[in-house]
Structure 1
Amino acid sequence: MSTSSILLSSLAPFCFLFSFASVLFSSSALRGVAPQDEKYYFDGAVIRCRDGSGSFSRDRLNDGFCDCGDGTDEPGTSACPEGKFYCQNIGDSPRFLFSSFVNDRICDCCDGSDEYESDITCPNTCRKDNVAEDRKSDHGLEGANLDKGGAVENKDSLDVEDLLHKLTGLRIVAVLELVIVVSAVTFCLCYRRTRTRRRRFTLKY
């Protein structure tokens, strides 16, 4: 066995560990980072805050403590109020969330990636949402005409419902006004009777 082969075989475990560590770093530390921004976090061991407020070491990325005012160091946690979380949403459109939505026990990303540490399980609905959008676009003009007809019907039904709600509201207001008037009249009558009784009692004694 040659010296180079012995050297390669001895370095193989370290290469494996290095690749495994890089995979772990990319999957956990870079959580919430958009693909176009990943290079920014690999440029050096020390990473500058995008707003120029300071810098942080790579091991402080997504560590749960806010080091940058703009949330550069916490793209995958809710530590920074100004932070943004990137939903990859494979099969659907990617999007950014405010960091306050991360691990809040509500599934905001269709792939559920924003709830990686909460105690709920988010179903992946990205492909379902995408299929629904594709079906809408595949209907073409016929679907558009149907949508217009449906929209007219929906508008009419909404107008009727709105009218009913307004009438119900007017009835409630009328009943309340009647109750107020009756209460005021009753109070005035009771007050007059009480005054009359007091006067009679005073004159009598």
Structure 2
Amino acid sequence: METSFFFNIFSVVSTCLIFGSSSASLLPTSPFLGIHPQEEGYFKSEVIKCKDGSKSFTRDRLNDGFCDCIDGTDEPGTSACPASKFYCKNVGNIPQVLFSSRVNDHFCDCCDGSDEYDRVINCPNTCFKDGKTLQKIDNNLIRPHLVSVDAREASGRMSLEDVIQKLKELKIVVVGEVVLMSCVMAFLLFRRRNRSGRRRRYR
């Protein structure tokens, strides 16, 4: 009888441990999983307000698998709240925002595999592979276009500067010619007056 009693206790304890370990695997490894890096400061206080202002929750209830906020503020990293959003960092690629219902749904949505942390399926990190492809596309298609636009703009600026410089030089030339012509005219007038003065003296 004692043996069966201890066996029952052992089976209950082992069941609890198995259930506890399986439920723990359903929770994020980091409490900030699914949170945008710029919003992590919002969740660092001991008591956190729901973003809709309805109530508050303690930090240990962040991503604990139970929905405390109607708007899903407390569960960005689990599928507990239908209204919550999961942020994929996707380092090396484009960040992404998912509905929390797609967390641990056995489909790889984030290229870094962060949305499937319960390890039921294997989601390899393909961000850098895809990132290289994006970078290659960006280098081959977008950058030459930008370079050509910049080159055209630079050549346009240079031609405009050349025109301005030429106008300045032309202005200097014109002013110089005007001054020279004025000097010549003044000299001719002075010379004519001198001649007319001499003629009057001789008369």
**In the TM superposition, what are the counterparts of 1:1-205 in structure 2 within 5 Å?**
28-42=30-44, 44-140=45-141
Shift of 1:118: 3.9
- Residue of structure 2 equivalent to 1:161: none
Tell me the TM-score normalized by structure 2: 0.54
The amino acid that maps onto 1:41 is: F
2: distance between equivalents of 1:54 and 1:27? 26
Q: How far apart are residue 27 of structure 1 and its match?
A: 5.6
Give 1:137 shift: 2.2
> What is the CA–CA distance in structure 2 between the aligned matches of 1:45 and 1:122, rounded to whole Å?
33
Partners of 2:101 and 2:77 in 1: CA distance: 10
CA distance in 1, matches of 2:139, 2:97: 28
- Where has structure 1 moved over 3 Å in runs of 4 or more? none
User: For the Cα contact (< 8 Å) 1:103–1:116, is it kept in 2?
Assistant: yes
C-alpha separation in 2, matches of 1:41 and 1:85: 15
**Number of residue pairs aligned between Structure 1 and Structure 2:** 117
- Using CA pairs under 8 Å that are at least 6 residues apart, name the structure with larger relative contact order, 1 or 2: 2
**Once the 2 structures are TM-superposed, how far is the Cα of residue 89 of structure 1 from its aligned partner?**
0.5
Consecutive unaligned residues of structure 2, counting only runs of 5 or more, are 1-27, 146-203
CA RMSD in angstroms comes to 1.9
Q: State the partner residue of 1:180.
A: none
Name the CA distance, whole Å, in 1 between partners of 2:141 and 2:120. 42
AA at the equivalent of 1:81: P
The answer to whether the Cα contact below 8 Å between 1:75 and 1:83 also exists between their aligned partners in 2 is yes
Conserved? CA contact 1:104–1:118, under 8 Å: no
Q: Deviations over 1:28-73 (max 9, x none)?
A: 111111110010011x211100001111011111011101011100
Matched AA of 2:120:
D
CA distance in 1, matches of 2:105, 2:119: 7
Q: Name the CA distance, whole Å, in 1 between partners of 2:134 and 2:46.
A: 43
Label 1:122 to 1:34 Cα distance change in 2 as closer, same or farther (>3 A): same
For structure 1, list consecutive stretches of 5 or more residues without a partner in the other structure. Answer: 1-25, 145-205
How many angstroms apart in 2 are the aligned matches of 1:61 and 1:140? Answer: 43
CA distance in 2 between partners of 1:59 and 1:49 (Å):
14
Secondary structure of 1:86 counterpart: strand
2:112 counterpart letter in structure 1: D
2:76 and 2:139 map into 1 onto residues whose CA distance is 37
Structure 1 or 2, whichever has the larger Rg, is 2
Deviation of 1:139 (Å): 2.2
Matches of 2:101 and 2:29, distance apart in 1: 21
- Percent identity of the aligned residues? 59
Q: Secondary structure at the match of 2:131?
A: helix
